[in-house]
Structure 1
Amino acid sequence: MSMFTIAWKDIKIRLKDRKSFITLLLMPIILTAILGSALSGVFNENGSLPDLTAGVVANSQDELTDQFLQDTLQGKELKESIAVKKFSSEPDLKKAIEDGKVDAGLVFPDRWGEALLKGEIEPVKMLKDPGKDIQFSILSTITQSFTNRVTTVSAASRVVGNELTSAVPVSNQNLESAGTMKDLSGKLTEIADSKENGITSEKDGKEPLSGMQYYAAAMGAMFILFNTTMGAKTIIQERNTDTLARLMISPIRHSSIIGGKFLGTFSFTVLQFTVFVIATHFLFGVNWGSDVAQLVLLGIAYSISVSGLAMLLAGFMTEEKTVDSIGGIGVQVLALLGGSMIPLASFPEAMQQFAGIAPNKWALGGLLDIMNGTSWDTLTLPVTVLVLIGLASLWIGSLKLKLR
């Protein structure tokens, strides 16, 4: 029972700490209300594509190029989301992108469409604004989809034409190859002209997340991370007042002391997570998903991770001021890196990969998936990563504490 006694003592101390209460319970709720309301416009909550301004350089136009620009990019499906601006030269287009007037650009080679019909693929040069990865990806997908469709159609036409003219002599079979090819070409052209452009704005059956939902998950993940600092400071305070030393020489087992400290931080973190979810749901109407069990599992996994990191921090730090400064800065860096301040989709691809070191990134991603309605398989990776981070940190931290 010693482990639970130690944990309960730590919980009572933290509940009586007014600063801890305000920081970990009230602040995330207040910031969620502010950010969720103020930045809700950043999120496209109607399920449509984000607005995109595409710059185009096509000095030598042909029928196929005109078809792509007018019927595809400015067709009924995409006209409301994509605006096309034409430029006379590539330098002019680059300057427009640098000035923020254009999100992404296309530079077409001379007679691009005619070359495609002949099977000569000349790639379209694509220009991007480094801060508009999503818009660039959309434009790139549409262009590639159209190119692949046209090259497939032209290749099929050529192959069938060659087979018709070489397999059976026309004079013997009265085969009207010209008429057949014309009919085939017409049918294949219908396929090439289809409105399936690779990207549509139809819903996938799931409601898009609102700004309030995103920042509720983001603020929750960030402020729970502050428990690493709070938990470490509790242990350091007891070490500096020799309370921890007296516990170490008492009949209480070392594992019970370490377990009690870990369990105290873990229990407070679970409590904070529970209060935050309930408060945001009833105060702001935040929908945390339909599967409460998934939410509980992820909350427990994240609490294990945070509690383990608190033990790790306490094992390597000896002064409360050091924990405050390093812990505070570290939490803010991890919050930014993990998407709690700015959505990860706004970061370059390399930065998104590097963000995997932040535990709050895994927690935030899992929470957003749960809100959107996900399967249990999807949660396997984030839950596993969070638990492993917590257990590894607990093990290393306990070894360091044992030596003091």
Structure 2
Amino acid sequence: MKSLLVAGKDVKILLKDRRALLMLIVMPIILTAILGSALKGVMGGGGMPETVLGVYSNDENAWATSILRSLDDEALAITVERASSEKQLHEWMGKGQVDVGVLIPSTWGDVSYKERAVILSDTGHESEATIIQQIFNTYAETANAIAFSTELLMTEGASYAAAGEKIDMQALHNGLASSMQSIVNEPRDYVLVTSVGEKPVSAMQYYAAAMAAMFLLFNAMTGGKSFHRERQTETMARLMMTPTSFRSILVGKFIGTFLFAFFQFTVFMAVTHYLLKVDWGANSLQTFFLAFCYCIAVSGLSMVMAVFTTDEKMADVVGSMGVQVLALLGGSMLPLSVFPGVLRNIALFTPNSWALTGFTSIMSGAAWADLWMPAGTLLLIGGLAVLIGSFRLRLHSL
């Protein structure tokens, strides 16, 4: 009960702080609207970017061999990597080792045209996937027209020769032109583009998740400053002289930071959904579950911030710089897919990258099983932070 009173006091103070409300609730909404609108449709960049194309074909065929040889042209800025299996290609996509993946069936290009090449697109590389799709479609249409015209020439020539007649070049030309025109005009799908998730994530969705992950981190700084403020005003000392135990004060501080962070996320999610039309995913329970885990991590980090800074000013400076560095490394500024491999590995140590990955996975239709890794990592970060913070604070209080 005493812990809840301490938590309620902290939340009440934060709700009365107009600067905090402006920074933690209004600012992320504005940034989401600006970044999401400015980068709509161009998250992967413009023009023909440097692209690493992963390809798997379970059996070589003429079309696959020819187009892959053409893609090695340096002018296309495409690097082709051949996967040994479909599983390996999906692993490359999951780790960001390739920008776009292509699955080429063994019967691609046969007379039935039933099987299509499948292009795997990922968030941040939509433009590259579109370019690869156009290249494959153009090649397939051209190859199909050439193959049909060659077959027509050989068939007609053979029939004239068998009949002992002179070949009528004009009639053959007219027939060839008519047949090729019918092939070009006949709608056929040679390529299927699909997202690595159940559905692609838009720029507005990505930056909504990115801004939520970034600005929730500021609660770690706010919680740390709260500890120092109460020490400087001797509120902490007066609390320690009451029957309120140190554990109750500690738990109250943790709950207060958690409640405000969860309130902040709920408001942000509601405003971006109804005002900016951001789709947070079909299952809101998944979104709130991940937010719950992330708020625990942030609340734990607030305790670490308190014990490793000496005063409120230092907590403000260190917290602001730390949030910006974590936001940059964790993908809140730029999509993680554009990072080199080393930085993507470093991002695994940032809590906001796990939150961002989890939110975007939910938006793309992830199952519950896909959330255990990011959720478990966030809970682990929060638990370790609480242990470190409580141990140091107890030492200082002795």
Q: Sort the TM-score into its range (normalised by shorter chain).
A: 0.5 to 0.7
One-letter amino acid of the structure 2 residue matched with residue 379 of structure 1: L
Question: Deviations along 1:342-381, whole A, 9 cap, x unmatched?
Answer: 0001011121111111000010000001111111111111
One-letter amino acid of the structure 2 residue matched with residue 389 of structure 1: I
Other-structure match for 1:291: 283
Q: Distance in 1 between matches of 2:303 and 2:21?
A: 21
Pairing partner for 1:305 from 288, 297, 308: 297
Unaligned runs of 5+ in 2: 53-59, 82-94, 120-190
What displacement does 1:401 show? 1.6
Question: Deviations along 1:191-243, whole A, 9 cap, x unmatched?
Answer: 9x997657454335833111100000000110001100011101110011211
Question: Deviations along 1:101-155, whole A, 9 cap, x unmatched?
Answer: 7533579xxxxxxxxxxxxxxxxxxxxxxxxx979654xx66xx88x98xxxxxx
Q: Distance in 2 between matches of 1:68 and 1:217?
A: 38
Instruction: Tell me, yes or no, if structure 1 residue 203 matches structure 2 residue 207.
Output: no
What displacement does 1:190 show? 6.5
Other-structure match for 1:152: none
3-state SS of 2:279 partner: coil
Q: Quick check: 2:118–2:192 contact (8 Å CA) kept in 1?
A: no
3-state SS of 1:42 partner: coil
Pairing partner for 1:373 from 365, 377, 385: 365
Q: Quick check: 2:6–2:256 contact (8 Å CA) kept in 1?
A: yes
What displacement does 1:40 show? 1.1
Q: Distance in 1 between matches of 2:77 and 2:23?
A: 39
Question: What's the TM-score once normalised by structure 1's chain length?
Answer: 0.67
Q: Distance in 1 between matches of 2:68 and 2:24?
A: 51
One-letter amino acid of the structure 2 residue matched with residue 307 of structure 1: S
Other-structure match for 1:215: 207
Q: Quick check: 1:227–1:307 contact (8 Å CA) kept in 2?
A: yes
Q: Quick check: 2:48–2:76 contact (8 Å CA) kept in 1?
A: no
Q: Distance in 2 between matches of 1:317 and 1:135?
A: 39
Q: Quick check: 1:229–1:327 contact (8 Å CA) kept in 2?
A: yes
What displacement does 1:310 show? 0.2
Task: Decide whether aligned partners of structure 1 residues 291 and 198 sit closer, same or farther in structure 2, where only a CA change above 3 A counts.
Answer: closer
Other-structure match for 2:37: 37
Other-structure match for 2:21: 21
Instruction: Tell me, yes or no, if structure 1 residue 6 matches structure 2 residue 6.
Output: yes
One-letter amino acid of the structure 2 residue matched with residue 298 of structure 1: L
Q: Distance in 2 between matches of 1:302 and 1:51?
A: 37
Once the two structures are superposed, the pairs formed by residues 271-286 of structure 1 within 5 Å of their partners are: 271-286=263-278
Q: Quick check: 1:206–1:372 contact (8 Å CA) kept in 2?
A: yes
Q: Distance in 2 between matches of 1:189 and 1:370?
A: 36
Q: Distance in 1 between matches of 2:108 and 2:115?
A: 14
Other-structure match for 2:315: 323
One-letter amino acid of the structure 2 residue matched with residue 103 of structure 1: A
Q: Quick check: 2:7–2:252 contact (8 Å CA) kept in 1?
A: yes
Task: Decide whether aligned partners of structure 1 residues 24 and 196 sit closer, same or farther in structure 2, where only a CA change above 3 A counts.
Answer: same
Task: Decide whether aligned partners of structure 1 residues 36 and 344 sit closer, same or farther in structure 2, where only a CA change above 3 A counts.
Answer: same
Other-structure match for 1:246: 238
What displacement does 1:318 show? 1.6
Q: Distance in 2 between matches of 1:240 and 1:54?
A: 55
Instruction: Tell me, yes or no, if structure 1 residue 104 matches structure 2 residue 95.
Output: no
Q: Quick check: 2:118–2:194 contact (8 Å CA) kept in 1?
A: no
Q: Quick check: 1:312–1:393 contact (8 Å CA) kept in 2?
A: yes
Q: Distance in 2 between matches of 1:347 and 1:305?
A: 24
Question: Deviations along 1:142-184, whole A, 9 cap, x unmatched?
Answer: 6xx88x98xxxxxxxxxxxxxxxxxxxxxxxxxxxxxxxxxxx
3-state SS of 1:287 partner: coil
One-letter amino acid of the structure 1 residue matched with residue 325 of structure 2: V
Task: Tell which deviates more after alignment, 304-313 or 200-209.
Answer: 200-209
Task: Decide whether aligned partners of structure 1 residues 12 and 85 sit closer, same or farther in structure 2, where only a CA change above 3 A counts.
Answer: same
What displacement does 1:17 show? 0.7
One-letter amino acid of the structure 2 residue matched with residue 300 of structure 1: F
What displacement does 1:399 show? 1.7
Task: Decide whether aligned partners of structure 1 residues 297 and 65 sit closer, same or farther in structure 2, where only a CA change above 3 A counts.
Answer: closer
3-state SS of 1:202 partner: strand
Q: Quick check: 1:53–1:85 contact (8 Å CA) kept in 2?
A: no
Q: Quick check: 2:3–2:249 contact (8 Å CA) kept in 1?
A: yes
Q: Quick check: 1:72–1:197 contact (8 Å CA) kept in 2?
A: no
Identity, in percent, stands at: 43
Task: Decide whether aligned partners of structure 1 residues 135 and 270 sit closer, same or farther in structure 2, where only a CA change above 3 A counts.
Answer: closer
3-state SS of 1:340 partner: coil
Aligned residue pair count = 302
Q: Distance in 2 between matches of 1:35 and 1:190?
A: 45
Question: What's the TM-score once normalised by structure 2's chain length?
Answer: 0.68
Task: Decide whether aligned partners of structure 1 residues 53 and 400 sit closer, same or farther in structure 2, where only a CA change above 3 A counts.
Answer: closer
What displacement does 1:398 show? 1.5
